[in-house]
Amino acid sequence: MGLVRLKIRELAEEKGWTLKEVADRSGIVYSSVRSYARRPAIATVDFTALHKLARTFDVLIEDLVEIIEE
């Protein structure tokens, strides 16, 4: 199974946003944003959340996701 990491912290830092601001701007519950940002590797991710985060950061989903293991 493939593992990914979401680049939420890096993208938030580039914008000067906190994780709480990311949650507010994206409409994703803060605990989910925090969980995604803290995990070094994730096996499953809600695609709707990925889409909302990519739209919030104005990046492609491919720019939000780092493949850790295929």
pLDDT confidence bin for 69, thresholds 50/70/90: confident
Mean pLDDT of all residues belonging to the chain: 95
Q: What is the rounded end-to-end Cα distance, in angstroms, of the chain?
A: 7
pLDDT at 35 over 80: yes
Report d(CA 2, CA 55) in Å as an integer. Answer: 23
pLDDT confidence bin for 15, thresholds 50/70/90: very high
Backbone angles phi, psi at 28, to 5 degrees: -95, 140
